[in-house]
Amino acid sequence: MKSRALASRAVPVPQPHRPGKPENIQDDGGSRGIPGPGVLLPWPYPLRIHTLGRFQVTLDGQVSRFSGKAQRRPLLILHALLARGGRPVPVSHLRKLLGEAEGLDDAPCSRGAFDMALSRLRHLLPVPGLLCLGDDALSLDEDRVWVDAWALDRRLGRVAGPGTPARRLALLGRALDLYEGEFLPGNDSAPVLLARERLHARLLRVARHLGEDFEARGDWSGAGGLYERLREHYPLDENLCLHLLRSHLRRDQQAQARGLYDRCRALMARVLGVLPGLEIRRLMESLS
């Protein structure tokens, strides 16, 4: 008899009409055993996990609703695996994570408790071969699940690769389409915090390098468009504000620059309780 505590309620998700969407796509497959360029990959994945701005598991087009104390440990394991990006996680680390969640300080949970949590996770995610346990480490098979954070990471890799700035800007736009918010909001475990910061830092680093390429070419319109798109996600990033101000001034858009500065100044004062830095203030004083 199945335990009621393990059961998850499935809610049908309306499937949007996607004109011209092929049954196979080349984008965002798993990282192991991927065919070369031009070889189509299966779409859609039967299991899809959203982690950016929300946590949502969709299996065969239905959203899984998790509730009950019995599912707490399995989801902690899943979150730790997601934070590792598909790489194996030592069982000892997972046992320590479960022990900390149970208030055991630095003591790991028992192996029996871990095995039970893993069994429950397999029940929640009934995809054959998804959870791989070997060499006393656990991982998710990337070729059996689509994860938005992993797809974002791969798209950022393409942005950082070769290509014209215009082409890379288009790729960055596709990457930002996936970024709906921070990684696994509400989970402040050490593995999740590290993954969240790493993804945040990489996104900004890749985008800023692309912006520098636009600036070096004198394409201030392209640079400005990039910085404006980034500010939708990072409205309090002072460095983005500075670069966007420069792009306006380079295009002789002083009114837009003043308006942007006023908005940045008011937002930083209200949310952070600080004023823009000296470099931004000096830039705006130069207009006077």
Instruction: Find the CATH number of the domain harbouring 114.
Output: 1.10.10.10
Task: Answer yes or no: is pLDDT of 43 > 90.
Answer: no
Q: How far is CA 121 from CA 77, 82, 196, 259, in A?
A: 8, 13, 23, 52
Same domain for 91 and 186, yes or no, is no
pLDDT band at 92 (very low <50, low <70, confident <90, very high): very high
Share of the chain above pLDDT 70, in %: 84
Tell me, yes or no, whether 92 and 120 share the same domain. Answer: yes
pLDDT at 287: 78
Q: Are residues 21 and 133 in the same domain?
A: yes
Provide the pLDDT confidence category of residue 7 given band limits of 50, 70 and 90.
Answer: very low
pLDDT digits (tens, 9 = 90+) for 255-269: 999 999 999 999 999
Q: Quick one: tokens of 153?
A: 């990471």
* Number of domains into which the chain is organized: 2
Please give the mean pLDDT across all residues of the chain.
83
For residues 22 and 134, membership in a common domain is answered with: yes
pTM of the full structure: 0.77
- Does residue 288 or residue 221 have the better pLDDT? 221
pLDDT at 18 > cutoff 60: no
Q: Per-residue pLDDT for 32 more than 80?
A: no
What pLDDT digit, counting tens, does each position of 204-237 carry?
Answer: 999 999 999 999 999 999 999 999 999 999 999 9
Domain shared by 160 and 76, yes or no: no
Domain shared by 45 and 103, yes or no? yes
| Structure confidence at residue 2 (pLDDT) | 40
Q: What is the CATH number of the domain that holds 167?
A: 1.25.40.10
Given this model, what pLDDT does residue 63 score? 92
Q: Do residue 264 and residue 198 come from a single domain?
A: yes
Q: Which of 1-15, 113-127, 185-199, 264-278 has the lowest mean pLDDT?
A: 1-15
Q: Band the pLDDT of 44: cuts 50, 70, 90.
A: low
The one-letter amino acid code at 246 reads: R
Per the structure, the complete domain to which residue 177 belongs is given by 147-285
- Report, as an integer, the average pLDDT of 170-179: 93
Same domain, residue pair 273 and 170: yes
Is the model's pLDDT at 55 over the cut of 70? Answer: yes
Q: How confident is the model at residue 34 (pLDDT cuts 50, 70, 90)?
A: very low
Identify the band that residue 102 occupies on the pLDDT scale cut at 50, 70 and 90: confident
Choose from 30-34, 49-53, 187-191 the range with maximum mean pLDDT: 49-53
Instruction: In whole angstroms, give the CA distance from residue 26 to residue 37.
Output: 8
Which of 146, 168, 188 represents a domain boundary (last residue)?
Answer: 146
Residue 6 has pLDDT above 80, yes or no: no
Query: Which of 146, 171, 190 finishes a domain?
Result: 146
Residue 22 has pLDDT above 60, yes or no: no
Among residues 146, 175, 204, the one where a domain terminates is 146
Does 247 lie in the same domain as 186? yes
Note whether 136 and 166 are same-domain residues: no
At 24 the pLDDT is 35
Q: Per-residue pLDDT for 39 more than 70?
A: no
- Percent of the chain at pLDDT above 90? 62
Same domain for 156 and 272: yes
pLDDT at 288: 65
Q: Are residues 253 and 125 in the same domain?
A: no
